[in-house]
Amino acid sequence: MAARVITITSGKGGVGKTTTTANLATALGLLGQRVVAIDADIGLRNLDVVMGLENRVVYDLVDVVEGRCRLRQALIRDKRLSEVYLLPAAQTRDKTAVSPAQMAELCYQLRPDFDFVLVDSPAGIEQGFQNAVAGADEILIVTTPEVSAVRDADRIIGLVEAGEKGPPRLIINRIKADMVRRGDMLDVSDVLEILRIELIGIVPEDEHIIVSTNRGAPVAHEPSVPAAIAFRNISRRLLGEDVPYLVMGASPTFFDRLKRLIGPKPEAR
Amino acid sequence: MGIINKFLGRDLVGSKDVAKERLRLVLIHDRTDISPVMMEALKADLIAVISEHLEIDQAGIEISLTENRGLSRLQATIPIVRRRVRG
């Protein structure tokens, strides 16, 4: 069966595209899926370090496109999951080293051997982004509940819809339940009301992400970490399962406020 | 709730409501891609056309973009001074 090619993009940088790509690759791998994650951020390679595979990089995407190696030679097998692979970006080149048509061809060649091809897009709306979406069947847009990230997500949605890629789906990352409860952070319904696209995931702000990135082992491996559960839920939704969403920071009740007044800080849900 | 908030000296409106309103406005302009220059040109043309038929208060004209249920609309408020006597 041919793989689904899914591009993870955002417009704004630093909202968690690479972390999301690494964790969805891991979570899908844990579900027994054959996955290849492509780092399309040529010149600013990072998916390798987030996945903990930086010491194994020999060839990269540009080497494949320019014929210096076979596609299979450039794929790096994950340390823990035998059916998860990384195709790293070139670090010493720039976005113009590859064309959208070449990226689309690359994705096409990977289809027969995998269930999922995940493409980690660079920030921005220029050629790097165009390359990343060129071969995609589906687009996932990552945003955080901040004005700048939501504005950029809206711009990307417009570009994706104009490119006839089918309706993109949204991942809202780094939600802080306590700030939502205080009314100091846009909540899931606010962001959905503004962007009006289908939701596929909500991921809480979680310190475990930094710890796991430090170690080069995606957090999705952790059994009970909230962000890990969130990423595993997204991967199950990608497979068509109807998974309920984590509730994060419903609006404050009288009891919440009373607790804050008399007791210790309410813990983040 | 309001009383408790007042008692605690908290703002009645959380900053997310400000964020949401600002986003709403900026996205209306992003989505329609209408520049301030184009809005001014539109306003001048509207004044010219309507003035042929009605006497309007040009200083009181307000043109803005609004959005409702996914549809962008151009909203113009044009105060009429009085109808011209037809010759």
DSSP string of A161-198, one letter each residue: HHTT----EEEEEEE-HHHHHHT-S--HHHHHHHH--E
Q: Where does the pLDDT of residue A257 fall: very low under 50, low under 70, confident under 90, or very high at 90 and above?
A: low
What pLDDT score does A268 carry? 41
pLDDT at B7: 53
Give the largest Cα separation in chain B, rounded.
68
**pLDDT band of B35, cuts 50, 70, 90:** confident
The whole-model pTM stands at 0.85
Distance CA(A263)–CA(A257), nearest Å, equals 10
pLDDT at B59 over 90: no
Higher per-residue pLDDT: A245 or B13 = A245
Q: How big is chain A, counted in residues?
A: 269
* 8 Å CB contact between B28 and B65: yes
Question: In this complex, do A151 and B4 lie within 8 Å of one another by their Cβ atoms?
Answer: no
For residue A223, pLDDT over 60 is answered with yes
- Residues A123/A8, Cβ–Cβ less than 8 Å: no
A48 in reach of chain B (CB within 8 A): no
Residues of B in contact with A261 (CB under 8 A): 4, 8
**Structure-block tokens of residue A222:** 């952790």
For A107-166, write each residue's pLDDT tens digit: 999 999 999 999 999 999 999 999 999 999 999 999 999 999 999 999 999 999 888 788
pLDDT for A248: 72
| Most A-contacting residue of B27, B30, B32 (CB-CB within 10 A), to test interface | B27
Mean pLDDT within A50-60: 97
Residue A61 has, within 13 A of its CA and on its CB side, a CA count of 39
Nearest C-alpha neighbor of A188 from the set A209, A168, A208, A204: A204
Minimal Cα–Cα distance from A72 to chain B, Å? 42
* Lowest model confidence (mean pLDDT) among A65-74, A117-126, A252-261, B76-85: A252-261
User: In chain A, where are the structural domains located?
Assistant: 4-262
Nearest residue to A171 (alpha-carbon basis) of A15, A1, A62, A54: A15
CB contact under 8 A, A190 and B26: no
Residues in A closer than 8 angstroms to B13, CB to CB, are 183
Q: What angle do CA A227, A231, A236 make, to 5 degrees?
A: 145
Q: In this structure, what token pair is assigned to residue A174?
A: 């780094």
Mean pLDDT of A44-66: 97
Compute and round to an integer the Cα radius of gyration of chain A.
Answer: 19
Q: Does A185 touch chain B (CB under 8 A)?
A: yes
Q: Kindly tell me if the per-residue pLDDT of A102 is higher than 60.
A: yes
Rounded-to-integer distance, Cα A265 and Cα A250, Å: 16
**A28 pLDDT more than 90:** yes
Q: Do A261 and B8 touch (CB under 8 A)?
A: yes
In the predicted structure, residue A48 carries a pLDDT above the cut 90: yes
Helix (H) or strand (E) holding A61: helix A61-65
ipTM score for this prediction = 0.81
Give the type of residue at A257: R
Q: Is A187 on the interface with B (CB under 8 A)?
A: yes
- Give CA–CA dist A137/A3, Å, rounded: 10
Digit-coded pLDDT (tens) for A65-93: 999 999 999 999 999 999 999 999 999 99
Q: How far apart are CA A41 and CA A267, in angstroms?
A: 37
CB neighbourhood size of B37 (10 A): 8
Q: Which residue among A158, A186, A257 places its CB closest to the CB of B20?
A: A186
- Of A187, A194, A261, which is closest to B27 when you measure between CB atoms? A194
Q: What is the mean pLDDT of chain A?
A: 93
Contact B19 A154 (CB under 8 A): no
Residues of chain B contacting A, Cβ within 8 Å: 1, 4, 8, 13-17, 19-20, 22-24, 26-27, 30-31, 70
- The counts of H helices and E strands in chain A are 12, 8
At A167, list the tokens. 């309706």
Rounded-to-integer distance, Cα A41 and Cα A39, Å? 6
* Residue of higher predicted confidence among A252 and A151: A151
Asked if the A4-262 domain carries CATH number 3.40.50.1220, the reply is no
pLDDT of A255 over the 80 cut:
no
User: In terms of DSSP bridges, do strands B80-83 and B54-56 run parallel, antiparallel, or are they unpaired?
Assistant: antiparallel
- pLDDT top residue among B83 and B68: B68
